[in-house]
Amino acid sequence: MNMKRILDLWKDQQSTLNGWISLNNAFGAEVMAYAGFDTLTIDMQHGVSDYSSLIPMLQAIKPIPTFVRVPWLEESSIMKSLDAGVNGIICPMINSKKDAQRLVKSCYYPPYGERSFGPIRAKFLYKQNYFEVAKEETFVFAMIETKEAFENLEEILSVEGIDGVYIGPADLSCSLGVTPKFDQEDEVVFQAIKLILQKTKKYQKFCGIHNGSAAYAKKMEKLGFNFLTLGSDAIFMLEGAKKIIQDFHCN
């Protein structure tokens, strides 16, 4: 499934499944690529990766469409990730219109933004002239994960070039005074999640969320989320190991 097909599904109100890569290991990433996710995301924020492991991981994953969660709203991280050929950026802590505009400026070439030209790996991955197609081939997710972002949501959504929002349930919980966790059932956070989704739809943009379980992801799909992250490589490894030990002792 290529990125165009993903977008078509989303436009058709369908959802896709995203795998989350926290380890900085190219072979581990390739293992994740064989699991059956529609897209994969390399987490450079809370995952163990930095730029030195990014390109080998992207090479391992190809040709699955790939996102990077950059560590922060930093021009250099966004630029180097896009040059490396990712299909999209998930940027943490977009809390205001100004943040959203800086993100957009970093992601697109003139005249839409101020990204510097030098697509060292990206230029190999696109058949046509990369400069011409870069705008439409780059998907930009703003993370909505603070009270401030929640309050500024419509202003953020109105920034052209922001293609969707991605909810970080743990940070959103913290910011709303609730203990952070995935698959949040706390009413305050849950209402916020639903409201974010509703406003995002109003602006005809796409909405993603991190899920800890298949059941919660299913629930989110029914609400209308398009981009559903399921667990992470490190969690699968740890939980798998714990479970087989436990199964042994219960056998």
Nearest-angstrom CA–CA distance, 207 and 232: 19
Selected catalytic residue, list 1, 9, 17, 46:
46
DSSP state of 116: P
- Quick note: the x/- pattern for a copy of itself over 170-209, rule CB under 8 A, is xx-xxx-x-xx-----------------------------
Query: Among all chains, which residue has been given the structure tokens 């021009």?
Result: 75
Q: In the chain, at which residue ranges do the beta strands (DSSP E only) sit?
A: 16-21, 39-43, 66-69, 88-91, 139-144, 164-167, 206-211, 227-230
210 is catalytic: no
Considering the complex, state which of residue 1 and residue 203 has its C-beta at the smaller distance from a copy of itself: 1
Query: Which residues, 109 to 128, sit near a copy of itself by CB under 8 A?
Result: 109-111, 114, 116-121, 124
Residue 214 binds a copy of itself, judged by CB under 8 A: yes
- Quick note: the x/- pattern for a copy of itself over 125-164, rule CB under 8 A, is ----x-x-------------xx------------------
Residue 65 binds a copy of itself, judged by CB under 8 A: no
Angle between helices 75-83 and 51-61 (to 10 degrees): 30
CB of 36 to a copy of itself, least distance (A): 5
Nearest-angstrom CA–CA distance, 81 and 119: 10
Nearest 5°: phi and psi at 228?
-110, 110
Among 12, 13, 34, 185, binds a copy of itself (CB under 8 A): 34
